[in-house]
Amino acid sequence: MNKSKKIIKDTGKPKKKHIKINPMIWVAAAAVLGLALIAALLIDQLYKRPLVVVDGEKYYLEDMKYHIYTIEANYDYIDQLYGGTYWDSANYNYPSMSNREYAKLEAINNFVYELILYKEAVANGYTLTEEESEKVEENVNSFINDLGLSEKFLKENGFTPEFLRDVFTRNTLATRFKQDVIDSLDIDDEAIKAEFKYEDYRQYDIEYLFISTAPTETDDEESDDNKANEVKKQTALEKITSYREKALETEDWSKLVPEDEKELIYRSSYFLPTDTYYPENLMEVMLEMENGEISDVIETESGYYVVRMVNNNSSATYDSKVEAAITEKEEEEFAKEYESNIYPKYTVDLKEKAIRNLRLGRITLVD
């Protein structure tokens, strides 16, 4: 008897296998996604959103990188001198804001200022001269090759030859346009010059030998041994006297004193009639000296001097003072012209939200 095989089909649903995921994996994944989101937002805020719009043209962080770099480099140098506290210290002129905040505004204002002057130059038909073009190329090559900047720095900041060429071109044309405007202004250089009396700034160029007779750290300052002090002074006098004899026969005094000489020094300097740096009796002698004249050994409270008068009628300080005063007046008058007749031609929209997110100090100063 044949028996039929009965096949019983399992109609039940297959059981699912439950895989347990370590909660730490979820935490790590969430952290990575969170960081990615934050990074994306930062990139969007800093790089995608314009910082400034001038006459409808948008300018982004990458457009301002050079101006930001120059500010960051200067402030970072000062920050190192201050032991890392300068960036976040109160600004001297604007105590309500930090140096970091002020630097940000300075960089953006510099960019806008130069941009507007460049636009004015172009509108007035300015183009680079052959000499200026060569200078721009020199500046590009110097920036890339002579400043010790790393390839990483140049790459991450987008400082390509093309970018730098544009930067230096704008600066060159803006500077020339500004100077042409200044030259057209009614500024009386001679009147400014007349405000300074030449005799007040008459400069005396000198070089001198000096040896100190003042107590040193190794001397017993509390000692009343006048004999020891007199011996020290006599020794110093003999030494500088011997060097004076050599100086009388030497044109280049800078080579008189050996490198291993620890007591007697050579200096090249200058002074004005109103200066009080040098001892009074020394000043009296120097003010009467003729060009090329070499003094006797002059004793002062601090030590002995031998002086040679190089030029008793130099105009260097006077010229510098006058030039600085003229430049100050030019900047003052140009600022009025810029604010009244140049800047108002343009619509400048500072994007405060995007600017607020900028934190100067590490934008361009990559390792």
Residue 162 belongs to a domain: yes
Residue ranges of the chain whose pLDDT lies below 70: 1-47, 216-226, 367
Within this chain, do residues 65 and 153 fall inside the same structural domain, yes or no?
A: yes
Within this chain, do residues 211 and 149 fall inside the same structural domain, yes or no?
A: no
Residue 365 belongs to a domain: no
Residue 53 belongs to a domain: yes
CA–CA dist 40, 292 (Å, integer) = 72
Within this chain, do residues 176 and 221 fall inside the same structural domain, yes or no?
A: no
Within this chain, do residues 151 and 208 fall inside the same structural domain, yes or no?
A: no
Q: Is 101 left (phi over 0), alpha (psi -120 to 50) or beta?
A: alpha
Within this chain, do residues 207 and 338 fall inside the same structural domain, yes or no?
A: no
User: Domain containing 71: what range?
Assistant: 45-189+328-356
Q: Which residue has the tokens 């230096």?
A: 168
CA–CA dist 304, 241 (Å, integer) = 9
Within this chain, do residues 77 and 173 fall inside the same structural domain, yes or no?
A: yes
Residue 231 belongs to a domain: yes
If one counts the domains in the chain, the total is 2
First and final CA of the chain: distance in angstroms? 92
* pLDDT tens digits, one per residue of 275-318: 999 999 999 999 999 999 999 999 999 999 999 999 999 999 99
Kindly report the CATH number assigned to the domain that includes residue 59: 1.10.4030
Residue 308 belongs to a domain: yes
The Cα-based distances of 119 to 78, 169, 175, 248 in angstroms read 33, 12, 12, 62
Whether 164 contacts 140, CB under 8 Å: yes
Within this chain, do residues 50 and 184 fall inside the same structural domain, yes or no?
A: yes
Within this chain, do residues 253 and 142 fall inside the same structural domain, yes or no?
A: no
Residue 345 belongs to a domain: yes
**Lateral strand order in the sheet of 57-59:** 57-59, 52-54, 348-350
pTM over 0.85: no
Residue 99 belongs to a domain: yes
* pLDDT tens digits, one per residue of 85-104: 999 999 999 999 999 999 99
* pLDDT tens digits, one per residue of 251-277: 999 999 999 999 999 999 999 999 999
Return the pLDDT at 230: 85
Kindly report the CATH number assigned to the domain that includes residue 263: 3.10.50.40
Within this chain, do residues 295 and 335 fall inside the same structural domain, yes or no?
A: no
Within this chain, do residues 55 and 147 fall inside the same structural domain, yes or no?
A: yes
Within this chain, do residues 153 and 235 fall inside the same structural domain, yes or no?
A: no
CA–CA dist 306, 210 (Å, integer) = 7
Within this chain, do residues 53 and 177 fall inside the same structural domain, yes or no?
A: yes
Whether 167 contacts 144, CB under 8 Å: no
Return the pLDDT at 276: 93
Residue 344 belongs to a domain: yes
CA–CA dist 329, 310 (Å, integer) = 33
Return the pLDDT at 10: 42
